[in-house]
Structure 1
Amino acid sequence: MSSKTLLIIGFVWPEPNSSAAGIRMLQLINLFIEQGFEITFVTAANHSDKTFDLSSIGVKTQIIELNNPSFDIFVKELNPDIVLFDRFMTEEQFGWRVTEQCPNTLRVLDTEDFHGLRKGRELALKAAEEFSISHLQNNTTKREIASLYRCDLSLIISEVEKEILTQQFKIDASLLYYLPFLIEPIIKSEIAVLPSFESREHFITIGNFLHPPNFDAIQYLKKTIWPLIKTRLPNAEMHVYGAYESQKITQLNDKKDGFLIKGYIKDVNEVMQKAKVCLAPLRYGAGLKGKLFDAIQNGTPSVMSTIAAEGLFGRLEANGFIEDNPDAFATKAVALYENSNLWGIQQQLGFKTLNERFNSAAFKTNFKNKITDLSDNKDHYRKHNFTGQLLMHHTLQSTKYMSKWIEEKNS
């Protein structure tokens, strides 16, 4: 019996040491490997020195081109059982080609996070307005939801985002599948060897500097929150880590003020275990925040904004404090930094969250069953998604011919 085949069309090459998106992609790849799939990963993006070596885990790779019929030939010959689109932008570019060449292939979209929600929050922040449905109904949201309908299934990383999609936009829940970050349980022996409160020092934040919400948060931290902390803890330092450091990030470095831009770090665990408190004052964004998972896994309590904490704790208590007011944020950060008993309590709450809400074993079997059911009954499910049929029809008439025009222009 021949192996099942999965084609992943990546927005970028996975960089698990640079971004949460890279970690997410590798988790998905491993899920499908465990299900016995032969996997090919393709993307039109360039490699970087931070790209994960997919061949080391048996994944084939190939470069593809945008607006080029060579992809049609490639995908028809491969004829995969499933295509996984990495973010809605790749579905826009390649979804119609997959549908034309491989109509029986199951189409799955990994949203990574709800881009339209992030964009709406950014628009509200820049306009100094309270976030509302009018901000949410932006062009990014319209494009993204069209992609959700055109696919057989969309993976949603946050319960909050699934609720928004089903309640605000009335998307049928059968088209959406909640699949968060998948974490191996943290056991007592691992907790026992983590550095103690007394052996740690300084504050930390981490995140890919190319991601606009991270850059905004670092600016906000430097200008508004850090001065409030520094006046109360004059010997403390703020260590800022992240990939793709630019000049506008470097110029935030201030040794006198203890605000230090540390740049790219290959092993986040090493620096997270040395830090006493993680700070995540994100003012807009979506999805789950990789920095907070890193902090919890390394026993580092956090102070975070509501948006940073979204989708993480459910009904459980946070591993630290959730504050949006800068004065309250700074006060809680100082309290965590100075009080070992409080710090220890919050650390344990983090372990509880990961073990109860993100244990990979709790998701693997259900996901496998969902994929099997969809594959076996795709015609049935597609008949009940007329909106998806409608949007695919119009996509084939519009996006297809725009792409064809670009092909001709480039030839």
Structure 2
Amino acid sequence: MKTQIIDIKLRLVDLLKEVIKYQCFPIIFPLYYYFNHKDYSWLKEKNRQARINQGVNNKKIMVIDDRIPYPENGSGYPRTQQILKGLSSLDFKISYYAFIPFVNKDKVERHFNSNIEFITSPLIAKKGALRAIRENLSTIDILLISRPITLKRLYRHLPEFKRQNPNIKIFYDSEAINALRLKGSSQRVNRYLTKELHMASFADKTIAISLRERKVFEQLLQLERLEVLGHQTQEVNISNPIEERSGLLFMGPLYRKSTENSQAFLFFLERIWPYILKNSVTTTFTHIGRNHLIKSHKNLKPNIKLVGEVKDISIYLNKSRVFVAPTLSSSGIPLKLIESGAHGLPSVCSTILANQLGWETEVHALVADDPEEFANQCIRLLTDDELWHKISKNVLQKVKSEYSKLHFTNQLKAIFEPS
């Protein structure tokens, strides 16, 4: 009987892991936590050490987000990870709670500083967040709420937090304005835009991801404190010369078909790739990142490689010839283009992405929206060495000047340590 119970528990854990893998609603977390709580025993010791490493005289920032920002998740999470690392390096006490708090030991140790505390709860997402905030409210100096979906869940509780701790500062990092992704009439977009941005009016400070999105906030709201915080790139070793590079690279997680990455990937695969093959160009198309979209490789067109999740994206950025980003609807800033630029890898991207970054066509990237034109631009970078070197040099200089670690750290200091 005891063996059967253990077997049932193990089966449930395996089942729930699969459900989690495919982005299921977080109501299953209490069950997962109950059956698999031993997986989190290491976290108690990790958090104890984190609190010791934090010291006693630093301001405490509690960050509430949708999920733990592992960089491989894409969708703006690499930037959130950089914010956490940057703030902890500035000697703030950082406590982090995610609505979907699945803490992976290897990833936490690999991606985050040791002085960051990760709070988990067996309660369902919002209830767990409220309990975590209320238990720590008297010691919190800054409550940093990340993403529109998180603010929406907590918005009506913000006055309560202010009443219980009048000294607390509430910061809202919008990450990206979701309403800008909507399609339809301008009236519909503006209605959702006004509703989304209005929630930011209660924050003591609002953080936009780009100057473009800051202007959107300014047009609709009269906010006293509106800041911009972009993305940070690391200094990388650009090792491979052009002679040792080949193929086209697409990067980012592929979830359901309706997501931006999946739509862009399928658009390239179905509308652009055939034009490249038609022009008798011998090359490969490689995807790196999570893949929940394409289960079978049997029906893929020739020379397509689905690598999956990788620990070091630099290997692929350094050996590819062209980066492709045919995204046709987006908000925020395209972090993957910044990463490719930091590696000196020229890209072909859509107009909307070039505009978000302020990149000029034929200078920092080649830009196209039409499938045939996009294919032609890819072929140009695959075959024209002089053009490749020009774009590579320009985009590398652009990224270094706007997304360096020093620039990002100075932005963090200006926002969280105002003089």
Same fold (TM > 0.5): yes
Q: Where in structure 2 are the equivalents of 1:2-151 lying within 5 Å?
A: 2-19=57-74, 21-47=76-102, 49=104, 51-53=107-109, 56-64=113-121, 65=123, 66-67=126-127, 70-71=131-132, 73-77=134-138, 79-95=139-155, 96=157, 97-118=160-181, 120=182, 123-124=183-184, 133-139=186-192, 141-151=193-203
CA gap 1:321/1:296 in 2 versus in 1, 3 angstroms? same
Given that 1:17 and 1:267 are in contact with CA atoms closer than 8 Å, whether structure 2 keeps it comes out as no
Higher relative contact order (CA 8 A, sep 6+): 1
Distance 1:318 1:17 in 2: 29
Distance 2:389 2:112 in 1: 41
Q: Where in structure 2 are the equivalents of 1:348-387 lying within 5 Å?
A: 348-373=393-418
How many residues are matched? 353
Give the % identical residues.
20
Given that 1:288 and 1:310 are in contact with CA atoms closer than 8 Å, whether structure 2 keeps it comes out as no
SS of the equivalent of 1:154 reads strand
The alpha-carbon deviation at position 318 of structure 1 amounts to 4.4
Given that 1:222 and 1:259 are in contact with CA atoms closer than 8 Å, whether structure 2 keeps it comes out as no
Given that 1:204 and 1:275 are in contact with CA atoms closer than 8 Å, whether structure 2 keeps it comes out as yes
Distance 1:165 1:197 in 2: 42
> Does residue 239 of the first structure (1) align with residue 286 of the second (2)?
yes
The alpha-carbon deviation at position 145 of structure 1 amounts to 0.7
In the other structure, the counterpart of 2:41 is none
Given that 1:13 and 1:47 are in contact with CA atoms closer than 8 Å, whether structure 2 keeps it comes out as yes
Distance 2:405 2:298 in 1: 38
Paired AA for residue 182 in structure 1: Q
The alpha-carbon deviation at position 90 of structure 1 amounts to 1.8
Deviations 1:327-350 (A, max 9, x none): 211111101001111101110011
Given that 1:225 and 1:329 are in contact with CA atoms closer than 8 Å, whether structure 2 keeps it comes out as yes
Distance 1:343 1:320 in 2: 10
Given that 2:275 and 2:375 are in contact with CA atoms closer than 8 Å, whether structure 1 keeps it comes out as yes
CA gap 1:84/1:317 in 2 versus in 1, 3 angstroms? farther
Which of 181, 202, 227 is 1:177 aligned to?
227
The alpha-carbon deviation at position 210 of structure 1 amounts to 2.8
SS of the equivalent of 1:30 reads helix
Distance 1:164 1:278 in 2: 29
Deviations 1:256-294 (A, max 9, x none): 422332221221111121111011000111111122122
Given that 1:113 and 1:157 are in contact with CA atoms closer than 8 Å, whether structure 2 keeps it comes out as yes
CA gap 1:339/1:199 in 2 versus in 1, 3 angstroms? same
Which of 356, 361, 370 is 1:325 aligned to?
370
Which of 328, 341, 344 is 1:283 aligned to?
328
Please give the root-mean-square deviation of Cα atoms over the aligned residues, in Å.
2.6
The alpha-carbon deviation at position 356 of structure 1 amounts to 1.9
Distance 1:298 1:21 in 2: 19
Given that 1:155 and 1:176 are in contact with CA atoms closer than 8 Å, whether structure 2 keeps it comes out as yes
Deviations 1:4-43 (A, max 9, x none): 1110112101111332523211221233223321111112
Deviations 1:106-162 (A, max 9, x none): 1111111111112x2xx24xxxxxxx63242243x3442122111111211122111
Runs (5+) with no aligned partner, structure 2? 1-55
Moved over 4 A (4+): 48-51, 251-256, 314-318
Q: Where in structure 2 are the equivalents of 1:122-271 lying within 5 Å?
A: 123-124=183-184, 133-139=186-192, 141-167=193-219, 169=220, 171-172=221-222, 174-184=224-234, 190-191=237-238, 194-210=239-255, 212-243=259-290, 245-246=291-292, 248-251=293-296, 254-271=299-316
Distance 1:215 1:73 in 2: 38
TM-score by length of 1: 0.78
Distance 1:83 1:147 in 2: 15
Distance 2:131 2:250 in 1: 43
Distance 1:363 1:173 in 2: 23
Distance 2:347 2:73 in 1: 20
Given that 2:317 and 2:343 are in contact with CA atoms closer than 8 Å, whether structure 1 keeps it comes out as yes
Paired AA for residue 389 in structure 2: G
Distance 2:336 2:411 in 1: 27
Distance 2:262 2:103 in 1: 21
CA gap 1:80/1:160 in 2 versus in 1, 3 angstroms? same
